[in-house]
Structures are given as structure tokens and as C-alpha cells.
Homo-oligomer: A and B are copies of this chain.
């Protein structure tokens, strides 16, 4: 869902995914998909919504994040045992993770290469290859 810039467009895309363009979903999509790619947690998106004057419960933020993920608008990134991140960039790319700040930074997919991945164990197929470059203050 690269450019979900315009509101009417948002409604169309939500419908196409079988999701009613409710006020909450439309406004959350507005935060998430207007402008550049972003990485959010349920908590961070809820806080941002509150600051933006969007009235939405935390339960709905969770529901919406999962629905957007199922629709392919978001993808989950597992880097921290404590909380889940959602990424508006669903294309092929990887991440720096700044552990102390809980901050994710994109690494373009073309830039990084993983080779020598062995064949998947019998009966299994590779779903995706995730690379996390953990960085710290030296």
C-alpha cells in the first residue's frame, strides 16, 4: 500500500480489502499511509492518534493493525521480545534496530544480500528471510 495519500483512495482500498471505511480505520490509515514509510507499535500509534485528536480505543488500534496486516497493508516486524512493531513498508527490505531507543530504520532490499541459505528442512518452504542489524552506542 505504497501511496494511500488521499482519503477517497483510502476508502476504496479499505473496501477492496473487505473492510468498511469507518471513521477509526480511515483516520488511522491517514496517519499510517500518508507520507513516508513508518514503523509503529500499538502503543505508539494510539498515542499519536490521541495527539492528533483521533478518538479510538486501544482495542481498535490492535484490531486495525491486525486487519491491515491481514490485508497486506502492513507487516509485522519481530525484533523486540517486549512489543510488536508494524511496518508500512511491505516491500522487500531489512532493518537496523537501535536497541536502546526501540527504533527501526529501513535498509533497502536491493542493498543487502543473504546468500548460502540452506535448503529448507524436508516438508517446509522458505516463507521469508529477515535480517536485523542490531546497533548500539559504541
Q: Is the CB of B96 within 8 A of A120?
A: yes
Residues of the B chain whose Cβ atoms lie less than 8 Å from the Cβ of A51 = none
Flag whether A16 is at the interface (Cβ < 8 A): no
Contacts of A7-26 to chain B: CB distance below 8 A: none
> How many angstroms between the C-alpha atoms of A125 and B123 in the bound complex?
39
Which one of B81, B99, B134 contacts A84 once the chains associate, using CB atoms below 8 Å? B81
Cβ distance A97 to chain B, nearest Cβ, rounded Å: 9
**Chain A binding surface, main DSSP class:** strand
Size class of the A contact interface (CB-based, 8 Å)? 35 or more
Q: Is the CB of B107 within 8 A of A118?
A: yes
> Could you say which of A83, A123, A124, A128 has the most chain B C-beta atoms within 10 Å of its C-beta?
A124
Given contacts A112-B114, A113-B115, A117-B112, contact A135 B127 (CB under 8 A): yes
The count of identical subunits is 2
Which one of B83, B105, B125, B129 contacts A138 once the chains associate, using CB atoms below 8 Å? B125
Flag whether A27 is at the interface (Cβ < 8 A): no
Flag whether A131 is at the interface (Cβ < 8 A): yes
Which one of B83, B84, B96, B126 contacts A133 once the chains associate, using CB atoms below 8 Å? B126
Q: Is the CB of B130 within 8 A of A134?
A: yes
In the complex, the chain B residue whose C-beta lies closest to that of A100 is: B124
